Chains A and B, each alone.
Chain A
């Protein structure tokens, strides 16, 4: 049969595009939703849509190499007897031993410690290696309470009560059987190799009135020493921030929808929650309305990649930011050196997100001892420390250009937006105008 002349070339539907078609075919074949790791992959209004206004005549910049631009931050100044002092306003977010390998957790501790900042446990308890290699360690208190015990609670430098995370606000975790190794199973008191579902609500409290009582208990157990963080996924940031503050939190961690997860439903990652950019201003407003902005600390996370992102988040009112996915990339996640193996897994370096499978060629999101041994925790820790330095140097570069001697003096008024969306979400004017969409003024 001959092809007729002037035939239209194949044309894909924007609605039923190749990705959508592949997902329908996958769903029809398996009957289960797609589970993966990482954060939202769709394009979202982001920090890239904001620009800083450098100093010139009306404002004066600081000299890059001589004039100091402070980066330190103290967390937990509200009630804790022993607040945490960090050299840089970038922390490493909670990621569990279980979702990550032992060497990966060790590398996070080494990198964070070298940079003078904190790292965080995850849903699965605290390992001695992690405690040993982290000079400042935040201990997560999660609905599942895997591995929770008072000794580790007292060994921690701060306690983070996790209510939700940006990748899945309102959802519990999942750890598929491949990753429940004997050690992970023992730490979590679970049978080996099962598909583990974590709870989405805490077993012994719900709501701010009960949270207040839970915070009191944790303070009493640790003799009011440790800062108590409350972590929420961004969805109703004004109310959630206000209620966490009213319940007595020292630090509020607000995780936008670009924040990663070890494993959850793709539909959850892509369709629930607020972009980080849109979440910060309402949270800051809540603290300002309560007279608590800068009295308790706000940590923002979810898609922080560069020093510019750090500076923008701080300018919008955060006291610090937290990184997860970026930290894993710094360790060696999605490194092109493993391209041949990514290909075997049906993916490519830069797109690998099947962290739930435990087959990570880079040895990071796995419990396979052979794969895990590929990651040298000393070298990987060094890479993380380097990356944290770059984030800090970049943020300082911007702050100095705006005439600030401390990162915390960045303000929303130092920013403009490139798009109407970003202007509305960040509450800063559209570049070249004094128009903030959605505000009277």
Chain B
């Protein structure tokens, strides 16, 4: 099991070593210690390996992740798993702003809280937050599922496209063009599947679904207040 101490060697060496791994590597489990809030830790991975990071990370940890599993035993800074393509990123602590921003696929699990703009412009990623999410989350969310066991802050889903937002707790307010929608069997099945993948125990029936009213899809003068 390769281990890497960021207090002793530079980030560049860690990321270079992880990028050099082939899809068939047998070095499939990496331990990274002393991340000390460094930025861009384990970003751009594209091999099906597991990287466990023991501590807090700074901005853009596991950015653009593809195929890999990245586990952060601490808090994550701005933009954790931003633009993730596939694989899994799990934050055991809290996540800062813009968690999972523009993510295209894969699963992001935040066991603590996520702050503002969680899932902003998400494009197919599944995000599960065990705690609460901050304001302006899922702004311009295009596709994918955001599942929140706690509460959501102000302006949830502002200018949302076709993403699904499942919230179990209280929603402080909905953003422009975001509405509560009836949950169909299909939605319930999607939610249950995401919860199962995330290993999170919760009843799909306890959630409410929010999505696009599709009133802003075509510019109309009567909706001008929403812009």
- Interfacial residues, chain A to chain B (CB-CB below 8 A): 30-32, 144-145, 148-151, 153, 177, 188-191, 194-195, 197, 199, 203-205, 210, 213-214, 216-217, 220-224
Closest CB-CB distance, B181 to chain A, in whole Å?
Answer: 16
Question: Which residues 32-47 of B sit at the A interface, judged by CB distance below 8 A?
Answer: 39-40, 43-44, 46
Whether A189 pairs with B123 at a CB distance below 8 angstroms is yes
Whether B121 pairs with A203 at a CB distance below 8 angstroms is yes
Q: Which 3 A-B pairs have the closest CB atoms?
A: A221-B44, A204-B79, A31-B221
Whether B142 pairs with A203 at a CB distance below 8 angstroms is no
Cα distance, A267 to B66, chains bound together (Å): 42
Whether B143 pairs with A217 at a CB distance below 8 angstroms is no
B161 within 8 A of A: yes
Chain B residues, Cβ within 8 Å of A32: 219, 221
Cα distance, A393 to B104, chains bound together (Å): 45
- Interfacial residues, chain B to chain A (CB-CB below 8 A): 11-12, 15-16, 19, 39-40, 43-44, 46, 58-60, 63-64, 66, 78-79, 82-83, 85, 97-98, 101-102, 104, 117, 120-121, 123-124, 139-140, 142-143, 159, 161-162, 216-219, 221, 224
Whether A204 pairs with B39 at a CB distance below 8 angstroms is no
Neighbour of A189 across the interface among B39, B64, B142, CB < 8 A: B142
Chain B residues, Cβ within 8 Å of A189: 104, 123-124, 142-143
Cα distance, A222 to B216, chains bound together (Å): 37
Cα distance, A195 to B216, chains bound together (Å): 8
Whether B101 pairs with A204 at a CB distance below 8 angstroms is yes
Chain B residues, Cβ within 8 Å of A177: 217-218
- Of A190, A203, A214, the most chain B CB neighbours within 10 A belong to A203
Cα distance, A189 to B85, chains bound together (Å): 13
Known: A213-B60, A217-B43. 15 other contacts (CB 8 A): A30-B221, A150-B44, A153-B64, A189-B104, A190-B161, A194-B161, A194-B217, A203-B82, A204-B59, A204-B79, A204-B102, A204-B120, A217-B59, A221-B15, A221-B64
Closest CB-CB distance, B215 to chain A, in whole Å?
Answer: 11
Cα distance, A224 to B64, chains bound together (Å): 16
Chain B residues, Cβ within 8 Å of A217: 39-40, 43, 59-60, 63
**In the complex, which residue of chain A has the Cβ closest to the Cβ of B16?**
A223
Chain B residues, Cβ within 8 Å of A221: 15, 40, 43-44, 63-64
Whether A199 pairs with B121 at a CB distance below 8 angstroms is yes
Whether B64 pairs with A150 at a CB distance below 8 angstroms is yes
Chain B residues, Cβ within 8 Å of A220: 11-12, 15, 40, 43-44
Cα distance, A213 to B221, chains bound together (Å): 40
Neighbour of A204 across the interface among B46, B78, B143, CB < 8 A: B78
Whether A197 pairs with B102 at a CB distance below 8 angstroms is no
Neighbour of B102 across the interface among A145, A150, A216, CB < 8 A: A145
Chain B residues, Cβ within 8 Å of A194: 161, 217-218
Neighbour of A191 across the interface among B15, B44, B66, B217, CB < 8 A: B217
Neighbour of B217 across the interface among A150, A195, A204, A222, CB < 8 A: A195
Cα distance, A188 to B104, chains bound together (Å): 10
Chain A residues, Cβ within 8 Å of B63: 217, 221
Chain A residues, Cβ within 8 Å of B121: 144-145, 199, 203
Cα distance, A145 to B46, chains bound together (Å): 19
- What are 12 A-B contacts defined by CB distance under 8 Å? A149-B64, A188-B142, A189-B123, A195-B218, A199-B140, A203-B117, A203-B120, A204-B59, A204-B98, A205-B78, A220-B15, A221-B43
Asked if A216 meets B39 with Cβ closer than 8 Å, knowing A150-B66, A195-B219, A204-B60, the reply is: yes
Cα distance, A191 to B120, chains bound together (Å): 17
Asked if A150 meets B98 with Cβ closer than 8 Å, knowing A205-B78, A221-B43, the reply is: no
**In the complex, which residue of chain B has the Cβ closest to the Cβ of A219?**
B40
Chain A residues, Cβ within 8 Å of B16: 223
Chain A residues, Cβ within 8 Å of B120: 203-204
Closest CB-CB distance, A137 to chain B, in whole Å?
Answer: 19
Cα distance, A53 to B221, chains bound together (Å): 55
Chain A residues, Cβ within 8 Å of B101: 145, 203-204
Chain B residues, Cβ within 8 Å of A205: 59, 78-79
Chain A residues, Cβ within 8 Å of B44: 150, 220-222
Whether B15 pairs with A210 at a CB distance below 8 angstroms is no
Cα distance, A266 to B141, chains bound together (Å): 28
- Of A177, A189, A205, the most chain B CB neighbours within 10 A belong to A189
Chain B residues, Cβ within 8 Å of A210: 59, 78
Chain A residues, Cβ within 8 Å of B140: 199
**In the complex, which residue of chain B has the Cβ closest to the Cβ of A150?**
B64
**In the complex, which residue of chain B has the Cβ closest to the Cβ of A148?**
B83
Cα distance, A150 to B64, chains bound together (Å): 6
Whether A197 pairs with B159 at a CB distance below 8 angstroms is yes
Chain A residues, Cβ within 8 Å of B98: 203-204
Chain A residues, Cβ within 8 Å of B11: 220
- Of A30, A195, A217, the most chain B CB neighbours within 10 A belong to A217
Whether B217 pairs with A213 at a CB distance below 8 angstroms is no
Closest CB-CB distance, B201 to chain A, in whole Å?
Answer: 30
Chain B residues, Cβ within 8 Å of A224: 12
**In the complex, which residue of chain A has the Cβ closest to the Cβ of B82?**
A204
Cα distance, A153 to B101, chains bound together (Å): 17
Chain B residues, Cβ within 8 Å of A195: 217-219
Cα distance, A149 to B125, chains bound together (Å): 13
Whether A213 pairs with B59 at a CB distance below 8 angstroms is yes
Whether A191 pairs with B83 at a CB distance below 8 angstroms is no
